[in-house]
A and B are shown apart, each in its own frame.
Chain A
Amino acid sequence: MILRVVFIPIILVFFFLSCKVDPKVKPHFDENELKEIIPTGWPEPVYRFQNNPINKATFELGRALFYDPILSVDSTVSCESCHQQFVAFAHSDHALSHGVANQLTTRNSPALFNLNWHPLFMHDGGVNHIEVQPLAPINNPIEMGENTVHVIKKLRRSARYKKMFEDAFGKGAEINDAQMLKALAQFMALMYSYNSKYDRVKRGEAEFHQDELEGYQIFQQKCNQCHKEPLFSDFQFRNNGLSVNPAINDSGRAHITGLPSDRYKFKTPSLRNITLTAPYMHDGRFNTLDQCLQHYVSGITNTVNLAPELQGGIPLTPSEIQKLKAFLATLTDYTLLTDKKFSNPYAN
């Protein structure tokens, strides 16, 4: 009898020893909090976390990097400097974002959410994969002014990062660019926004007020062609009729493709969380939604490659504008803005 009691634990020990756990699979994987989400009715995402398995340690590493000014040359600028959670990871109150040594960039920081559905990144679509996106601001002389080699050097000097990289990528894992980029990508790719009032209405959990509903109908008639539901963008590049700022003369998409037919085209942004992400447009020229809507009504400049949808502007009455604004306000997702797992890990 005694022997039987002894044998059972021994069997259990053998059981655990016989199957070695893959070091990449985290024992503290938090399945409920961190996972790929594809809301019902949404298209298939472009990025499916291929070769970047979701786990808490990688996510936390990405979070630590996202909020760490170590990525910039003089430790003054982190990703969060221009992508703040309380405004859906856009840059609050800044028309043009600024970088190291008080230098001003030429563009307005876009908001960050639902990035998995973006085929291309940046206003000009110059970056073709979420995992290489952080290289652009890190190596840009104005934004973070760093170079990747030096960033890796700095991270390697840190005992804290050594441990975090090992937690994420296995014992003895070296700190390198590819792993830093995967961690950052994982953190950003999990910034989902699908819990706005609009989404709850779609799921049958809430109802629009009358003006929101009418605003939605106007939206479907006049905006949905480019700001396509449910992501509120088709991510195509368009010239939306902004007059060209001669001081910047930003050619947009053409800067990347070199094609004259791409001059002054910029990526159509999502309208989700739009009430929070002022100022608006690629150069932040408009401070209010009213100014944006008025631009489409009466401000379209007929420059080369103007989007055919915008020829002659979009007629909207003052009452329609009010209703449209009421609808656009239903696209704000407070879950994303307050989700603790995306907050600054160094704050407390």
Chain B
Amino acid sequence: MTSRYLHIPLLFFILLSGACKKDKEVTTTNTIPTPPTANLHIHFSHQADSLTLFPGQSYTLPGNQSYSVDVFKYYISNIELHYTNGNVFKEDYSYHLIDFKGKSEIILNKVPIGKIGLIKFMIGVDSAKNVSGPQTGDLSPSLGMFWSWNTGYIMVKFEGASPQSGDPNKQLVYHIGGFKGLNKAQRTVFITLPSKATMENNKNYELSLITNASRLFYGTHQIDFSTNYFTMSSNKNASDFADNYMHMISYKNFSEQ
């Protein structure tokens, strides 16, 4: 009698326990060999041309204007590593807010090994993330990098001062944004890496980049502080700044950590 019914719940249990497994639980890691990977730390050192950038310190620009900086933040997004063998690694949900007084490093864990020919990324936030409602993490609309009255991200935020500023308080305030049309302010950057940018399995590497704040103010467009000391919306002036900051980041070094 007992044994006749014992198998029924047992059978049910076995059936049910298998029925509701989620997809990600099905993956068995033992049988598939893990591809070789390395960890890459991308570090941004902030400079004013050849000098290290410190808050409140004065820096001279070509043409004898000078400035000091209090706030300097910008988005780096859509990072891609292009390997010399033609493979491309794209970081998933790749949005990073870099702050010269705060977080200046992006860590890419478990990227494929090999020789990186170039790194590609965007300064700013792509238009898709500007039109999709509230985001989280570095894209949170509460980080002072989001316009609430005219939806969109501030791609690069610079606040400082200059004796040449036309502002009565000698301030410089540049909130550069706008994600569509002729005046869009996001810019794609390619940086070629030398042949030593080769990564081996299970090792940590650091890619050092320089962000030159002075390049906001010269290059494609010369910024005259006496007339151009304030911008807080998407316009031609903002895209002029973008043409300049497109060239503000350059290669410094690549090394194993």
Contacts and interface: CB of A to CB of B under 8 A. Distances in A.
Given A7-B9, A131-B134, A176-B136, A18 B1 contact: no
B148 A135 contact: yes
B133 A132 contact: yes
A218 interface: no
In this complex, the interface size class of chain B, counting residues with CB under 8 Å from chain A, is: 20 to 34
B148 A139 contact: yes
The DSSP consensus for interface residues of chain A is helix
Interface string B142-176: 10001011111000000000000000000000000
A272 B140 CA distance: 35
B136 A7 contact: no
B148 A18 contact: no
A139 B135 CA distance: 17
Nearest to B142: A148
A140 B1 contact: no
Contacts of A19: 16, 19-20
Contact of A132 (B16, B20, B148, B234): B148
B134 A181 contact: yes
A3 interface: yes
B151 A127 contact: yes
Nearest to A135: B148
Given A126-B151, A128-B152, A131-B133, 8 more contacts: A3-B6, A11-B12, A19-B16, A127-B149, A128-B130, A148-B141, A176-B140, A178-B140
Interface of A: 3-4, 7, 10-11, 14-15, 18-20, 51, 122, 126-132, 135-136, 138-140, 147-149, 152, 176-178, 181-182, 185, 256, 258
Interface of B: 1-2, 5-6, 8-9, 12-13, 16-17, 19-20, 130-136, 140-142, 146, 148-152, 183, 233-235
26 contacts: A7-B5, A11-B13, A14-B9, A19-B20, A20-B20, A126-B149, A126-B150, A126-B151, A127-B149, A128-B130, A128-B152, A132-B134, A135-B146, A136-B148, A136-B149, A138-B148, A139-B149, A152-B142, A176-B136, A176-B140, A177-B141, A178-B135, A181-B133, A258-B183, A258-B233, A258-B235
